[in-house]
Each structure stands twice: as C-alpha cells, then as structure tokens.
Amino acid sequence: MAGFLAIAAIASATIASAAAGSAPVGAPADGEWPMPAGDYAATRYSPLDQIDPANAPRLHPVWSFSTGVLGGHEGQPLVVGDTMFVVTPWPNVLYAFDLSRAGYPLKWKYRPNVSRAAIGAACCDVVNRGAVYADGKIIYNLLDGHTVAVDAATGHLVWETKIASVADGETVTMAPLVIGNRVIVGASGGEFGIYGWIKGLDLATGRVVWTGHNLGPDAGMLIRAGEFHPPYVSGTQLGLRSWAGDSWKHGGAPVWGWISYDPKRDLLYYGTGNAGPYDAEQRAGDNRWSSSVLARRPEDGTLVWAYQFTPHDSWDYDATGAMILANLTIGGKRVPALVHFDKNGFAYTLDRSTGRVLVAKPFTHLTWAKSIDLATGRPVMNPAMQTGDTKGDVKGICPSLEGGVSPASPGAYSPRTHLFYTSTNNFCMDYTVHRIAYIKGTPYMGVSSPYTPGPGGYLGAFIAWDATTGRVVWKDEEPYPSWSGALVTAGNVAFYGTLDGWFKAVDARTGKLLYRFKVGSGVVGAPIAFRGPDGRQYVAIYAGIGGDWALLAGDTLSADPTDLRAPNPLVNNLASRTSQGGMVWIFGL
C-alpha cells in the first residue's frame, strides 16, 4: 500500500498547515473524517481498530439526534477536532455538534435560504451527499445551485457562489472536494437535459476559476493541446462527433457523486451521469463523455484522460459512483488502480495513470452486455437489450436503471484485507421510451421502466470484492435493495445500513453479521468512524429513507395527507418496515 501510505503522509503533513491558509488539506489525521470519503483516495477506510469482530457484538447506540428534516439522508457526517458536522437534505441545514460535551449539544446551526423551486427540479428527492472541511471552513452545496463556505468555528457564512441554474434543470446534490486551492463541484440534471460540467472554485473566495464540460466541443471540455490522452480512442472533438447533430447541447452527463484525488499524479477523478434524453435513438453515437470517468488537473481543470464505461447509454447507467484509488498487485505487478462499481453491473479496475481497463467483471446479475473487451475497452453488448423509440418494450434488462449499485452508495477499500466492500442491487427492468422534445426546466426523459426481481430470491446484497481478479469473495444477501455506503476499519469490521432500517456491523473477512440495530428509518447514507475527544472509537450513520426510494416506495412517505401513493410491486411491503425520518446515530462499545 505504498501509494496509499504516501497519500496519507502527504496529507497529514499538510493538514497542520491548513489553518495557515492556502495549503491543501489532505487525508484525515488519525480518527477524523474531514472529507466525504474520509480520504482523497475515497477508500472510506478508518485506521481505527478499537472495534473488532470480537467486541463488535457489544456495540450499542450512544446518541441520536433528529435533523428535523425529512427526505433521503444520503452522504455522511464529518468529524474535525471535537466537532461533528451534519448537512441535511433540502433545506440543507448545517449542524455543528460539540462532541466534547455530554449529550453532544449544538455549537451552532446554519440555515441557508434555499429556493423551494429547486424541489421540482431535483430528479430523485432533495438529497445532499455531504460537506467537506478545509481551511477552517465547512463547504457544501445547496440544492438550488449554490456552494457555501461556512466558518467551522462560528457558523457564519464566509462566501456563497451561484454555480448552477435551476431554471435550466440544474440542481446540486454532490459532495464537493477541496484539492489545494480548489473546491471541486458539479451539478445534477441528467434527467433535465443539462450540458453537464464540473467547476473549480477558489477556496478563499468561492470565485469560479474554471468550468469544464463533460461533453461538447473540446474547448468547453478544457482539452488543451497535447494534454488529452484517452486510452482506446484518439482524435479531436470526440465529445462533439459522438453525438447526432447538436444533441450534445442537452446531452446530460451530470456530476452528482464523488470526487477522488491522487496527489502523486495530481489528477482528480470523477464519474459522469447518463446521457439524455432516455430515448437513445435521439442521440446516435457513443455520446462521450457521458457514463464515463474523467481525470483532470485540479488547478485549471485540464482534461487528461477519459474512459467511457457505457457507450451510447441506453439504460440510464450513470457512472457517478465513487472512483476508489488503491495500489494493487495484479498478475504479480504493482499497479496504481482506480476501482469503480458501475450502475451497469460491472466492476472496473483501471490503471489510474492512463485509464486503461485491467479487470472488468460483473458483480451482480446483468444481461445488457456479455463482457468488457479489454483490448478495446468496449462492452460486448447484447443486441436484444438495446432500447430506443423504435424498439418497443424491451424486457429483462439487468441491472435496472437504479443500477447494480446506486452511485449514492459508495464502496470502501481495506488495505488490511485488500478487499472492496459495496452495496449492490439485484433487480431488472422492462424499458419503453418515446421520442421527446426538450422543454426547459422539465424532465428530458420519456421512459417507462417497471422493475422485476433478479434471480436468486433477494433484491440486494452487501459484498466483498477482489478487484485484482474481479470476483465476489463473500455476499450478505438482503431482502431489499442495498442502498447505503460502506465503511471498513482497521479492526476488520465493515459497516452498512439497509433500506428496512437496520444498521449492521459485519466481519470484513467473512461477512458474518456481528451486530445490528434498527435505526428507525431506512438507511441510504454512508457510515463513518471517528475517535471521540474521550479517545474512544465511534461509528456514525444517518437514518432517513429517500433518494430514489422516496419515488419508488412512495408509501414510505407519510407527511403529506394530500399525497397518497400505492406500494411499489417490487418492494410491496417495504413500508411495513420503514417510513421517512431524519436521524443521526452514533454507536460505540
């Protein structure tokens, strides 16, 4: 794990100087959780080892707090020093809890004035995937297209920048990352025909320094002469020529997930979402760089390489899930890897220097492709699963458009077990699309896609994955789709939550269930571990079903007497086990 350690070392060397101003903030000091995935490599690995498989059965809740907000509680808290920070779904309240005092009272709370109009432009519930700490500031995105920086000590606004336009269908749900002087942000709106982008803001002022589009002309994508080297393809204007006519202008490719960063290569990595509209025949071509991973320079956004997981996406297979960086040994060779569990059901191990695919294997049941051709990087597609307005009702497409894993459910990597951990889904869809016109501010979708269970009698699973060979090492099946992020610790315990509201600790080596507790509402957030001011290890998790499940299991919503929804046939008894809520839980020994 030389690379991993190198990242950690650089990062902890810089964290001390962060307060001075311009120095980049890196991976956490041991026991903190200052950025969405815990570290730049997006491993969601905690070096804490007090909780282990032997004592984990003694875990118990030590504290809980209602956020006062309903809606999908995706993402995770941050812990910096003796403070825990929590961002809620819209209206995006920011709470700062004092972990050094009994009962963890609030130091302050910050309530931005977020537009209500953004609620209708959010495709999939009014979620927020969390904040990042840097330079004495908590930085996060508001649903209505603003990034705010709040003084971590006082709760006062330091700067606020409008980054996105709700009128154009852009909302912001992603978790920003701070790299050096740059705050990296992107917008959702793959369902609203946006012209997808990522931006770098100035950490001190919030000023937009660069905007790089994910599709369209080279100039807009920040492709600079001689600097763009995608594996497998070459030439100019790839983001233009791979779209019929000017379909790229409303082609989507949003950024609503996670950013990771390799300090040694000075590359940031992120995934792009689906192409729009859902009728793929309206946008003939590969539709680069939707459903792709892109590598850029944080300072000026220069695009260095890009690789497309799902060319000509015909199934809403966003690639916005986490890009986890780890140094692995594959065929006896050390490789700087990037591991990604895609909605399309394949897990990819790439060389993160070049973007070339080293390993690509299914981690869940899939039918849309047979395999990934390592020579070309392209999927070997199943022609019967191609969709489009002339294709009628295409049945039996697996995974469904919810993904073999939701990008909202980031995985984890343990340098101890050398395994990756992730939630997965096991259900399929029938898919009908119709031709659709672009109407600004309304969805650019045109799809009907009922879901059916996948084989095996379970709808989700939490798995351990060997990314060097592409194989499931163990699998904990779940009756419902598994929608939470993963956490793994140096104590060899992995943590996740379930849609029916269980928080679970399992043995990272075997998957054996060690502890579970019913947290009141389904879990769609991601657990974190931290060391409290008392020196003990704790694990925190949000409860609060929502995200896509606010739409899919509308009968879990109870707060509006004028909005009654029938159960979803796929999960017709989910509402017997959970209803909406919004809670922060802390567990300890």
Partner 1 sequence: MRPHPTQSRRASTARWAPPTLLLVLAVSGSRGATPTHAPVIAAPGVANPAHIAAGGLPPPGPVVRNPYRGDAAVARAGAKLFVSMHCSDCHADAAAGAVGPNLGDGRWRYGASDAAVFRSIYFGRPRGMPAFGGMLGAQGVWVLVTYLRSLPPPSDLPTERFTRH
The kind and range of the H/E element at 550 are helix 548-552
Residues 6+ apart with CB under 8 A from 559: 70, 580
**Per CB under 6 A, 21 contacts ligand HEC:** no
Catalytic annotation, pick one of 32, 191, 342, 555: 191
Residue 108 has which token pair?
A: 């302050």
> 485 — alpha (psi -120 to 50), left (phi > 0) or beta?
beta
Q: Which positions from 176 through 195 interact with partner 1, judged by CB under 8 A? A: 191
Residue 533 near ligand HEC by CB under 6 A: no
CA–CA separation, 581 and 589 (whole Å): 25
Nearest by Cα to 242 from 288, 281, 278: 288
- Is 191 annotated in the active site? yes
- Looking at the Cβ atoms of 17 and 576, the one nearer to partner 1 is 576
Q: Which amino acid is at 413?
A: Y
Stretch of 120-128, 176-184, 252-260, 353-361 contacting partner 1, by CB under 8 A: 120-128
Output the smallest distance, CB 553 to partner 1, in A. 11
Helix (H, G, I), strand (E, B) or coil at 554: helix
Q: Which is nearer to partner 1, 441 or 453 (CB)?
A: 441
Among ligand HEC, partner 1, none, what binds residue 561 when CB lies within 5 to 8 Å by partner kind?
Answer: partner 1
Q: Which stretch in 13-21, 24-32, 114-122, 246-254 sits in contact with ligand HEC by CB under 6 A?
A: 114-122
Binding pattern for the stretch 424-463 against partner 1, x by CB under 8 A and - elsewhere: ----------x-xx-x-xxxxxxxx---------------
415 vs 443 by CB, closer to ligand HEC = 443
> Is 398 one of the binding residues for partner 1 (CB under 8 A)?
no
The answer to whether residue 562 forms part of the interface with ligand HEC (CB under 6 A) is yes
- Cis (ω within 30 of 0) for the bond into 399? yes
Q: Do 76 and 526 touch, CB atoms closer than 8 A? A: yes
Token duo for residue 4: 């991993």
Instruction: Tell me which residue of 232, 216, 347 sits closest to 287, measured CA to CA.
Output: 216
Residue 428's alpha-carbon distances to 69, 126, 448, 567, in angstroms, are: 32, 25, 13, 18
Among the listed residues 196, 343, 345, 191, the one whose alpha carbon sits nearest the alpha carbon of residue 278: 191
The yes-or-no answer on residue 274 being catalytic is yes
Question: Nearest-CA neighbor of 324 among 510, 527, 134, 488?
Answer: 488
- Minimum distance from CB of 125 to partner 1 (Å)? 8
Site string for partner 1, 88-117 (x = CB under 8 A): ----------------------------xx
**How far, in Å, are 306, 461, 585 from residue 388 at the CA level?**
26, 30, 44
**Least separation in angstroms between CB 205 and ligand HEC:** 33
Residue 113 interacts, among partner 1, ligand HEC, none and using kind-specific CB cut-offs from 5 to 8 Å, with: none
Residues that bind ligand HEC (rule: CB under 6 A) add up to a total of 6
Task: Please report whether residue 442 would count as binding ligand HEC according to CB under 6 A.
Answer: yes
Q: Which does 567 bind (CB under 5 to 8 A by kind): partner 1, ligand HEC, none?
A: partner 1
Contact stretch for partner 1 (CB under 8 A) within 39-47, 238-246, 286-294, 570-578: 570-578
Contact between residue 292 and residue 220 where contact means Cβ atoms under 8 Å apart: no
CA–CA distances in Å: residue 361 to residues 134, 566, 583, 585: 37, 37, 36, 35
Residues between 304 and 333 that touch partner 1 (CB under 8 A): none
Pick the catalytic residue: 135, 316, 466, 548?
Answer: 316
- Binding positions for ligand HEC, 121-140, rule CB under 6 A: 121
Provide the token pair at 188: 């959702």
Could you tell me the smallest distance in angstroms from the CB atom of residue 116 to ligand HEC? 7
According to DSSP, the residues that pair with 123 across neighbouring strands are 125
Assess 119 for contact with ligand HEC (CB under 6 A): yes
Residue 564 binding ligand HEC, by CB under 6 A: no
Q: Identify residues 502-541 at the interface with partner 1 (CB under 8 A).
A: none
Confirm or reject binding of residue 117 to ligand HEC (CB under 6 A): no
Contacts of 439 (CB under 8 A, 6+ apart): none
Q: How far is the CB of 342 from ligand HEC (least distance, A)?
A: 27
Nearest CB to partner 1, comparing residues 167 and 219: 167
DSSP strands (E only) in 238-385: 259-262, 267-271, 292-296, 303-308, 324-330, 333-341, 346-351, 357-362, 369-372, 379-381
Set 92, 181, 274, 327: catalytic member: 274
Q: Is 74 one of the catalytic residues?
A: no
* Active site members: 191, 274, 316
Residues that bind ligand HEC (CB under 6 A): 119-121, 442-443, 562
Q: Which residues bind partner 1 (CB under 8 A)?
A: 116-124, 191, 434, 436-437, 439, 441-448, 551, 554-555, 560-567, 573, 575-576
